[in-house]
Chains A and B, each alone.
Chain A
Amino acid sequence: MTIDATIPPGKDKPTGSILNDPKVRGWIYQGITLLLLVLFVYWVTTNTIENLKRANIASGYGFLNGRAGFDVGQSLIAFTSDSTYGRALVVGFLNTILVAVTGIITATIIGFLVGIGRLSKNWLIAKLSMVYVEVFRNIPPLLVIFFWYSGVLAVLPQPRDSLALPLDMYINNRGLAFPRPVFDAGSQFIFYALVIGIIASIFFARYASKKQMETGKRLPVLWTVLGLVIGLPVLTYLLAGMPISFDVPIAGKFNLTGGSVVGPEFLSLFLALSFYTAAFIAEIVRAGIRGVSHGQTEAAHALGVRPGLTTRLVVVPQAMRIIIPPLTSQYLNLTKNSSLAIAIGYADLVAVGGTILNQTGQAVEIVSIWIIVYLTLSLSTSLFMNWFNAKMALVER
C-alpha cells in the first residue's frame, strides 16, 4: 500500500538542500503515507474492539467451532445442522467456487463464439451476436439473475409432472435430477486408469509435436488421446467387473428422491453469470482479433496457409495477448458477481456467512472472512492469468 511516486529521471545533481532530492522526497512521502495508514488501521481496530466490548458483543473466531444448527440446501460436502459454523463457511465457499468455475468456463466459450460471430461475414450471425452483446451488456446482472430464476421456475413443471430426459434424468422446478454414481469396491482402478490416461496423453502430445517438428510427419493425436482418456477407463471398468452402479431418481411423495439434484438456484445463477459475462468477453475477443494487423492474415495467405489454419495459428495466438489482461478482470467480475446468489437463495459464501453473522452476531469476524476470501480468490485468479499471459507473450517474435 505504498504510493508509486513517479520520479522524473533526473540525471542532474540536486542543487541545495537534500529535501529537494526527488528520491529522498519520494521516500518521505511514502513513509508518511504508510504511517498514516498504519495509524488509521490501528485506530479502527482498537475502536472496534472497544465498542464491541461496550456493546457487550462477544468477539473472536472461537464461534466457528460452534454447532451451526441450520441446514443448507445445496452442498458439495456432507453437512447437517450438527456440523460447525466453520464447515458451513466451507460449504458456502465451495458453492462460490463451483458457480465461479463453471460460470467462467461457459462464459469463455459463449464469449469466444459470440465475439468471433460478430466478425462473421454472415450478416445474420453478425447481427445476432451484436444483439446478444448489446442486450446482456446493458442489463444489471441482478436483473439477469432474476430473469433466469423466474424464467426457470415459470417454465419448468411441478415435481409431479417432471419431464423425463434420457439416461434416467428428470427436470422439474426443483432442479435437474440425474443418477448418482455409487462407487463400489474396485472403482478406484477406474480412477487410476483415468489419471494414467491423462498423463500418457500429455507425453504423447509432446512426443507428437516434437516428431512433427523434426520429420514433418503428423501423428493421430486426437484419436490416441481419446483412446487413452476414455477408452482406458472404460476398459478398466469392464475388467473390474463394472463396480459402479447408479442411484436413479424416483418419484417420491413431494419430490423425486434418490439421485443427485442440481437446484434451480444454481442453474439460474450459473446461466445468468455465464450469459452476462459472455457479452463482455465477446467484446474483448472482438477487440483482440481486430487488434491483430490485417497484414498478418495477408502474409499467411501469401504463404499459402489455409484460412482456418490462419485463424488458429496466426491470428488467435496474437490476439490472445491482447485478450488475456481484460479477460482476467471479467473473470474477477464474474467471481464477485456470484455473491448476488443470495437474491435467489443459492448458498454461496455470502449467503451462508450472512446466516452465520445473523445467528451469532459476529459481524466483524464474518465480514473479515468475506474480505479475505474474496481477496484471495481475486489475487489467485490474477496471478494465474498473469502467468498465463506471460506464457502467451513468449509466442511473440
Chain B
Amino acid sequence: MAKRILTALIGAAVMGIGAQAASATTLGDVKAKGFLQCGVNTGLTGFASPDASGNWSGFDVDYCKAIAAAIFGDATKVKYTPTSAKDRFPALQSGEVDVLARNTTWTINRDTALGFNFRAVNYYDGQGFMVRKSLNVKSALELSGAAVCVQTGTTTELNLADYFKANNLQYNPVVFEKLEEVNAAYDAGRCDVYTTDQSGLYSLRLTLAAPDDHIILPEIISKEPLGPAVRQGDDQWFDIVSWVHYALVGAEDFGITSANVEEMKKSTNPDIQRFLGVEADTKIGTDLGLDNDWAVKVIKAVGNYGEVFDRNIGTGSPLKIERGLNALWSKGGIQYAPPVR
C-alpha cells in the first residue's frame, strides 16, 4: 500500500540527501567499496537472471563482469541490483547503482532530461509482437481490437501507442509494472498480444507454459539500441563503461578470444600489441584510470563480443538469436569499435 509511495519517497529523499555524500569520481567510489554495483533486470533469461543459488548470468551480466574485470582484474567483484523497467532510472539517478546494464534503450529523453549518458550500443534491437498461433494472425496490421500486454516504464508502451495510432488500429493496453505479472497475464489469456523488444520476446517465449503455441510476428516497429547507461557528470566513468564494450567488439575484430588472449600478447601486429597494452611505454589503460592490460582482463573474464553473444543469447544458448545487425561491421552487421590508439 503506502509501501510503494514510501519507496519512491525514500528514493526522492536519497536523491535529496544521499547524493550529497558522493565523492568526486565513480571510479574512486567503486575502488573504495571494492565492488561494482550493477543495475540489471529482475530476470530475463539470456540477459540477466539468477540461478538457484543466486549467481547471475546473461548478456547484460557479462557487461557488469567485464567492467569489474577491467577495474579489479576480477569479474566476481560485482553486486547486482535487480530493477524493474520503472525502478531502473531512479536507481541510477540516486547513485544506488554505478552502471545500468539492463536492456535499456538509448533515447534522447533519457540522454538529456533524465540526466544519463549513453554511447556504447551492445545490442541493436527493435520492438516486436508475440501472439498465440491459434489466433491465425500473420501481421501486426491485423491486430486491431486486440488486448496488448505491456510493461510500464518502457519505450515499448510509447512505441505501441504510436504504432497503433499511425496505422489507425484500436487496441486495449493492459499495463503491468513487473515482468512476471505481464508474463502471467499473457499466459492466462488476459491479452492477445505481448509486445516488447524482440530479443525480450525470444527470451520470454521460453518461459511460457507452451512456447511452441506462440509466434513472433515479422514486424519490427521501432529502433531499440540497447546499451549500458551511466549518470552525467563523470566523463572518466562514462569512458570506461563505453570502452569496455569497444574492447569486446575490438577483440572479436582482431580474433582475440578468452582462449587465445595470452597467446595474442605475443603477436607482432602493432594494433593488437597496443590493444592488449603490451606496447612499450603505453598509456592505453592509465589514461582511462585503469591498468594498461585492462583489455586482457576483460577478455579473460568474459571473452570477446561474439563469445558473450553466443554464450548468452546466440547459437550457444536456448534463445538462438541470430547475430543480424549485431554482427561485426565487417560481417554485414553494424557493431563497430573506434580504433584503440
- Interface residues, chain A, with chain B CB atoms under 8 Å away: 44, 47-48, 51-52, 54-58, 69-73, 80-82, 141, 150, 153-154, 158, 173-174, 252-255, 257, 264-265, 336-337, 339-340, 342-345, 347, 350-351, 354-355, 357-361, 363-364, 366-367, 370-371, 374
Contacts and interface: CB of A to CB of B under 8 A. Distances in A.
Interface in B184-237: 184-185, 188-190, 192, 231-233
Interface string B139-174: 000111111000011000110111011000001111
The 6 A-B pairs of least Cβ separation, nearest first, read A48-B16, A358-B153, A81-B161, A361-B114, A56-B115, A57-B115
B97 to A, nearest CB: 14
A358 to B, nearest CB: 4
B188 A153 contact: yes
Contacts of A344: 176, 181
Interface residues of B, number: 59
Contact of A150 (B109, B143, B188): B188
Nearest to A52: B15
Nearest to B191: A174
B20 A264 contact: no
Interface stretch (B5-13, B25-33, B298-306): B5-13
A69 B157 CA distance: 8
Given A73-B174, A344-B181, A357 B147 contact: no
A363 B190 contact: no
B19 A55 contact: yes
A55 B5 contact: no
Contacts of B184: 150
Majority SS at the chain A contact face: helix
B132 to A, nearest CB: 10
B24 interface: no
A173 B190 CA distance: 6
Contacts of B174: 73, 265, 345
Nearest to A50: B20
A357 B184 CA distance: 25
Contacts of B280: none
Given A56-B233, A367-B8, A255 B146 contact: yes
Contact of B177 (A252, A354, A359): A354
A51 B190 contact: no
B154 to A, nearest CB: 8
Contacts of B259: none
B93 interface: yes
B173 to A, nearest CB: 5
A264 B1 CA distance: 20
